[in-house]
Amino acid sequence: MDEDSRFEAVRSRDARFDGAFFFGVRTTGIYCRPSCPALTPKRRNVRFFATAAAAQGSGFRACRRCRPDAVPGSADWNVRADVVGRAVRLIGDGVVDREGVAGLAARLGYSARQVQRQLTAELGAGPVALARAQRAHTARVLTQTTELPITEIAFASGFASVRQFNDTIRAVYAATPSELRAAAPQRDLRTATPAATGIPLRLAHRGPYRAGPVFDLLAAEAVAGVDEVTGAPGRRVHRRTLRLPHGTGVAAVHERARTSRAAPGAHPGGWLDARLHLTDPRDLTTAVQRLRRLFDLDADPWAVDERLGADPRLAPLVAARPGLRSPGAADPDELAVRALVGPAVAGRLVRAHGKPLDTPHGGLTHLFPEPAVLAEALPHGTLGALTAALADGRLRLDPGADRDSAEAALLAVPGMDAATAATVRTRALGDPDVAPPGTDLPDSWRPWRSYALHHLRAAGELETP
């Protein structure tokens, strides 16, 4: 998009572009999402930015009306397999906070200087600035939804000091942490039920969201003790355990998608209600990003539906299910093992080798076994070879993994079949354009062939693997 096209999106408050770019208003010093309901500024006063971090780096603070820090991520990072796309996914997973820029660069196979240069050239901000913007958002969520002391929130959000935390919050939100907390809706923790504790979240998405097929899939592949889907269709809840860098978590995500208000003629998005129980609040950012990948919340349904809806075979399927998603994985290594062995065997692995939660949450009792544990306990066969490759790093499925290299490493595992490798590439690596072996998918469906397969399966034209 050129700047004139972007301004037209701003003037029409078009939510299709929320997260794709941001705009700052010179006269107010505020930056917003394209769908902001405030009075449209004059064109000469507007600057455009590829990321919230770039807007913050130019001295703009976040709008209090449209909360631009809460938009879905750009759908580009789902599609792109280059170093910039991989870097953004890793930053979203919290790698810079845990390992620094040097750790990020090492995972990507580039020098820190090369990563800095490429990110700045394309996004207007380097890895530190992108991580800082993410920390500010995490801090706002913790400040407004928990009773944690402000000092604890500073370090839980990834800041190196309370002073750095205070300075960043003032710069981004034009408010002190205490003022942010005072402005949040208050809840009475004395009367809260156990189900209402934890951190409440709105997991934003753009455009329509077809939740039913996602929850159908999660219900069909649920593994007792690790994840479950409960409730009646349309009002189901998916709950699962999470292994996180600093501790463990339990997540609950509700099926019913809620729609954001939008101006007449605009294209609203919405959100899924969720709640997180974490043993360590430092894991909030990572947990949220893993849920976003699981539920494919950063997709661009308009781009997908426009391309696939132009095909005569798919047009009626797309019209019947707008916003159909291609679910990912909350834990890529776990997904690879489950794709290989199936739910029944996975359940036996959990009972025999899974780590029990310190405090069970209803039917959720265990974390899925780590690859190293399975490789030692069951060293033989394809499962042993797969878990050994995951444990020693010969096979990487993290958000920054190169998809082609990962698939080659998968296929090098003795006994690994191409269909399972394709499933892992689609789900664990979030590739939107996978054509499994034996399927004849036209090139005109690129780069959304993974979504096309979900449409065919939902219509009963293709079996679920």
φ, ψ of residue 234 in degrees (nearest 5): 95, -25
**Which distant-in-sequence residues (6+ apart) come within 8 Å of 411 by Cβ?**
418, 421
Specify the higher pLDDT residue, 218 or 258. Answer: 218
Q: What is the pLDDT of residue 183?
A: 85
Q: What is the pLDDT of residue 268?
A: 64
Helix axes 284-295, 127-145, angle to 10 degrees: 100
Rounded mean pLDDT, 228-253: 97
Rounded mean pLDDT, 191-216: 81
Residue 189 has pLDDT above 70, yes or no: no
Among 14, 18, 32, 305, the active-site one is 32
Q: Which residue has the tokens 């020693």?
A: 392
| Among the ranges given (175-184, 257-266, 301-310, 311-320), the one the predictor scored with the smallest mean pLDDT | 257-266
Q: What is the pLDDT of residue 197?
A: 76
For the chain, residues classed under CATH 1.10.10.60 are 79-183
For the chain, residues classed under CATH 3.40.10.10 are 3-70
8 Å CB contact between 173 and 136: yes
Within 109-259, where are the H helices?
Answer: 112-123, 127-145, 150-156, 162-173, 177-183, 211-220
Among 4, 188, 358, 440, the active-site one is 440
Q: Domain 198-298: what homologous superfamily?
A: DNA-3-methyladenine glycosylase AlkA, N-terminal domain (3.30.310.20)
Q: What is the pLDDT of residue 71?
A: 84
For the chain, residues classed under CATH 1.10.340.30 are 332-431
Residue 185 has pLDDT above 80, yes or no: no
Q: What is the pLDDT of residue 193?
A: 42
Per residue in 101-143, pLDDT (tens digit) is 999 999 999 999 999 999 999 999 999 999 999 999 999 999 9
Q: What is the pLDDT of residue 464?
A: 75
Per residue in 329-375, pLDDT (tens digit) is 999 999 999 999 999 999 999 999 999 999 999 999 999 999 999 99
Q: Which residue has the tokens 């939510």?
A: 15
Residue 93 has pLDDT above 90, yes or no: yes
Residue 244: Cβ-neighbour burial (10 angstroms; 0-12, 13-18, 19+): buried
Rounded Cα distance, 103 and 85, in Å: 16
Segment holding 238, helix H or strand E: strand 237-243
Q: What is the pLDDT of residue 192?
A: 44
**Which distant-in-sequence residues (6+ apart) come within 8 Å of 246 by Cβ?**
279, 280, 282, 283
Per residue in 437-453, pLDDT (tens digit) is 988 899 999 999 999 99
Rounded mean pLDDT, 39-61: 96
Q: Domain 3-70: what homologous superfamily?
A: DNA Methylphosphotriester Repair Domain (3.40.10.10)
SS3 helix, strand, coil % of the chain, rounded to 5?
50, 15, 35
Per residue in 307-325, pLDDT (tens digit) is 999 999 999 999 999 999 9
Q: What is the pLDDT of residue 462?
A: 85
Residue 262: pLDDT band (50, 70, 90) is low
CATH level 2 (architecture), domain 332-431: Orthogonal Bundle (1.10)
32 classed as catalytic: yes
Rounded Cα distance, 431 and 452, in Å: 13
8 Å CB contact between 260 and 69: no
Rounded mean pLDDT, 138-167: 91
CA angle centred on 369, ends 368 and 372, rounded to 5°: 145
> For the chain, what is the radius of gyration of the CA atoms?
22
Q: Domain 79-183: what homologous superfamily?
A: Homeodomain-like (1.10.10.60)
Work out the mean pLDDT of the chain and round it to a whole number. Answer: 92
404 classed as catalytic: no
Residue 164: pLDDT band (50, 70, 90) is very high
Q: Which residue has the tokens 């189900």?
A: 195
Q: What is the pLDDT of residue 195?
A: 44
Helices and strands of the chain, counted as H and E runs? 20, 11
Q: What is the pLDDT of residue 463?
A: 80
Per residue in 386-412, pLDDT (tens digit) is 999 999 999 999 999 999 999 999 999
Segment holding 273, helix H or strand E: strand 270-278
Q: What is the pLDDT of residue 196?
A: 52
248-259 and 61-62 strand pairing: unpaired
Q: Which of 411, 408, 414 is nearest to 385 (CA)?
A: 414
Residue 7: pLDDT band (50, 70, 90) is very high
